[in-house]
Structure 1
Amino acid sequence: MNLTRNERGELTIRGVSLPSLADAYGTPLFVYDEDEIRSQCRRFHDSLSTSGLDYTVSYASKAFSSVQLFRLMNEEAMGLDVVSEGELYTALASGFPADRIHFHGNNKTEAEIRYALDAGIEYFVIDSIGEIERIDALADRDVEVLVRINPGVEAHTHEFIQTGQEDSKFGLSIEKGLALDGISRIQAAEHLVFKGVHFHIGSQIYDPNGMITTIDKVLRWLHENNIQADVLNAGGGFSIRYTDEDISYPIEDGVTRITETVKNVCAELDYPVPHLSLEPGRSIVGEAGLTLYRVGTVKDIPDVNTYVSIDGGMSDHIRTALYDAKYTLQLANREPEGKEITTTVAGKLCESGDLIAKGIELPPVEPGDLLAVLSTGAYHYSMASNYNQMLKPAIVFVSGNDHRLVIRRQSLEDLLVNEVTDDQLGKTK
């Protein structure tokens, strides 16, 4: 995200003042650079289209789902990866074409399967042996499926976001014979049509080598077992930059290396080149979003720490508590002044672990100041909760020098929308 300061020292996105957005929509507030989201989609398209391969880029909607975002994804010719009936419902409500949606998940319920079948999605990604019989029994027509295979590759990332290692809740193991068994069962099923395989080795992957190694391994396994995969879905997990220590995935170079690997290995094996699918999520929206918070209490503990408390917290920013994730923060409403001090930025929820950033260097801040937390476009609103009955923030998209409300802030009345009242229970006071 290209942040600049105006003549008043305020942070701006494409000329739109962040303090003006805070004044208009309140805080906490998620702000997305819509033009950057579109640019990221086009970088993947451009990199894949030059390869000459048949391909699909599908947005991994678990990173952030909304009606307006899905409409944008449709405009950018993206496919869509969903993992629940809620994500599918949101996609369909946006008008996203069902035949460009595929359904993931390690425990799809019968209700979800029926819903997806009725909607006419493109394909399911089978994640377990039991799921094969379940989908086949519920289907009344041919249904295309991919098998999520577990390639036994460990990505060098946080253990909670590794997904390709042997001990994982996801996928069917190649080494243990489960993947081959699953494909055989699909081929024998009445309504299931085997179309290919899917794998995903983890998240925040900044080096293409892990995916390249896995593609090579998977293609050789398919060839050795005489399995024709029309589709090779290599998943996503491409990294973004949260702090100066992080590396954003090199999309152009990385995708080129991926496509060259597919072509070269297929040529070596005389194996038909499959349709290649990628599933970026975080790398599409992550760096395009930030969160604005208003500073409340500033508590200085001499020779110990300075705590700056904001008006949000782990209810809209869980990743620091969950993964010890690091972030970059900037003062948004004025130019930084004074010597930087070691600061811990804390949320307002009743948990000692409710921290946004620990021991970072910030200029002195005061109650009423605005802090911008960068790279919060993925896995923040989508993981938000009403813990402590906190209200979920509003979301604004900025495009050009204009802005629009995409999701309104929850109201206090929204907190009670699902409550059952005494009148509804037929009780009298």
Structure 2
Amino acid sequence: MDVFSSATDLLRDRRPERPVLALRPHAASRAAAWFLANFPGRVLYAAKANDARQVTDALVEAGVTAFDVASLVEIERVAGIEGAELYFMNPVKSRGAIARAYREFGVRRFAFDTADELDKVLEETDGAGDLTLFLRIACPNTHSLIPLEGKFGASQEDAPALLLKARQRAKRLGITFHVGSQAVVPAAFGEALRQVGQLIVSSGVLVDAIDIGGGFPARYPHSDPPALSSFMEEIVRAADELAVKHSCELLCEPGRALVAEAESVIVRVDARRGNALYINDGAFGTLFDAAYSGFRFPARLVTPDRQKTASPEAEFVLYGPTCDSSDYLPGPFVLPACVDEGDYLEIGQVGAYGRVLANRFNGFGEFDEVLLTDEPMLSMFDSSEDDAQAVWPARA
């Protein structure tokens, strides 16, 4: 894969016809190093967020060896990584996927949120005695930009009986939850952990692990969350209040926070109509969240022409290349007012869920790929952030 110092450097070399996915593995490596140094437990990468080999390799080289996987395809992709620990955390799995995960790929960690799903896991593993079982519980998603509640999670009323049943069959028992994607308030994790603490006390069932899920935020023009260190401080405080704090392993499943900065997309403007720019990637490509989740991504005009980049700014909306009118990105995207047909834009922070959501609607969806060595357009991991070590030690 070709390497360039920046998107501008790329355009000095070529005028790409297709959108270009610009990978910055060094950004993923830096994010992983921060989580490994600051999270008080085991860090799992949520493999669904980005499946680029260069990104995964960067995470592994930084020290990430555990993976939250949701399908056999994700299992097959990461199972070959030396020393990989796989956590099959999708609360609803097919019987065939459970059996293959257990027998062919050595998966021993499974999530469930109903008695039926627990029975399914036990039956398809022939009542194995080496399972770690995580009960997914429901928790409020009031502090996240993309709520994930409603589809999964045992209620507070059902959870005690499920914990007791799983405790009788599991080698290790855990509880897991998810506060929603792009959680912007540290208290979200503290509130959920206190809910877990109440459940443990009320059920009378001891657990060996608590997986606090993902939801850790990245930085966007519309969402400037507190420093990640404040999230860790909240987690440490809440975890320290748990009755099982001395015997319970803590885990997390970051996806967005690890990889959002690790990729951008370079697009061409194919038409301008007033303040609307028609570009060659969009809602059915890497920019799904900009169309359907209300995200604003950072954008900049990419050109060696300094006069163009120095012109006054204006707000634009974007349309993708398909014939679907929902292929619309309201932004607004702040760019030089002179931007026009034939210009190129770099749109940042698409490393989380961008490439994995892209499809081939209308025949679009093919990308070139390059490596860039410059810094992301926005970052949660700058030198001003407090990198103090967390104080609740990880446990094997």
Q: TM-score, normalised by structure 1?
A: 0.78
User: Partners of 2:4 and 2:193 in 1: how far apart?
Assistant: 39
Aligned mate of 2:45, from 35, 59, 68: 59
Aligned mate of 1:331, from 287, 291, 301: 301
Report the 3-state secondary structure (helix = DSSP H, G, I; strand = E; otherwise coil) of the residue aligned with 1:253: helix
User: Partners of 2:111 and 2:341 in 1: how far apart?
Assistant: 50
Rg: which structure is higher?
1
Q: CA deviation at 1:273?
A: 3.9
User: Partners of 1:73 and 1:360 in 2: how far apart?
Assistant: 30
Q: Between the two proteins, what is the percent identity of the paired residues?
A: 22
TM-superposition CA deviations, 1:251-291 (whole Å, max 9, x none): 2232133123212x13xx47644111011110011123211
User: Paired residue for 2:23?
Assistant: 32
User: Paired residue for 1:47?
Assistant: 38
Q: Is the 2:22–2:265 Cα contact (8 Å) retained in structure 1? A: yes
What stretches of structure 1 of length at least 5 have no aligned partner? 1-12, 301-305, 402-429
Aligned mate of 2:283, from 302, 308, 314: 314
User: Partners of 1:226 and 1:272 in 2: how far apart?
Assistant: 17
Residue identity matched to 1:169: K
**Equivalent residues in 2 for 1:30-429, closer than 5 Å:** 30-48=21-39, 55-78=41-64, 79-93=66-80, 95-98=81-84, 100-118=85-103, 119-140=105-126, 141-158=128-145, 161-164=146-149, 168-174=150-156, 177-189=157-169, 192-243=170-221, 245-263=222-240, 265-266=241-242, 269=243, 272-300=246-274, 306-316=275-285, 317-333=287-303, 334-335=305-306, 336-363=309-336, 364-399=338-373
Aligned pair count? 364
Q: CA RMSD in A?
A: 2.4
Q: Is the 2:5–2:372 Cα contact (8 Å) retained in structure 1? A: no
User: Paired residue for 2:391?
Assistant: none
Q: Is the 2:144–2:179 Cα contact (8 Å) retained in structure 1? A: no
Report the 3-state secondary structure (helix = DSSP H, G, I; strand = E; otherwise coil) of the residue aligned with 1:172: coil
What stretches of structure 2 of length at least 5 have no aligned partner? 376-396
Residue identity matched to 2:341: P
Structure with the larger RCO, 1 or 2 (CA within 8 Å, 6+ apart): 2
Q: Is the 2:143–2:185 Cα contact (8 Å) retained in structure 1? A: no
Residue identity matched to 1:256: E
Q: Is the 2:299–2:334 Cα contact (8 Å) retained in structure 1? A: no
User: Partners of 2:191 and 2:233 in 1: how far apart?
Assistant: 14
User: Partners of 1:368 and 1:227 in 2: how far apart?
Assistant: 63
Q: CA deviation at 1:377?
A: 0.8
Q: CA deviation at 1:337?
A: 4.2
User: Partners of 1:256 and 1:122 in 2: how far apart?
Assistant: 31
Report the 3-state secondary structure (helix = DSSP H, G, I; strand = E; otherwise coil) of the residue aligned with 1:308: strand
Report the 3-state secondary structure (helix = DSSP H, G, I; strand = E; otherwise coil) of the residue aligned with 1:351: coil
TM-superposition CA deviations, 1:269-323 (whole Å, max 9, x none): 47644111011110011123211001111223xxxxx221111222212112221
User: Partners of 1:238 and 1:376 in 2: how far apart?
Assistant: 15
- From the superposition, tell whether residues 359 and 232 of structure 1 become closer, same or farther in structure 2 (CA, over 3 Å): closer
Report the 3-state secondary structure (helix = DSSP H, G, I; strand = E; otherwise coil) of the residue aligned with 2:56: helix
- From the superposition, tell whether residues 122 and 399 of structure 1 become closer, same or farther in structure 2 (CA, over 3 Å): farther
Report the 3-state secondary structure (helix = DSSP H, G, I; strand = E; otherwise coil) of the residue aligned with 1:297: strand
- From the superposition, tell whether residues 212 and 14 of structure 1 become closer, same or farther in structure 2 (CA, over 3 Å): farther
Q: TM-score, normalised by structure 2?
A: 0.84
TM-superposition CA deviations, 1:332-361 (whole Å, max 9, x none): 124324333342221111111212344444
Q: Is the 1:125–1:146 Cα contact (8 Å) retained in structure 2? A: yes
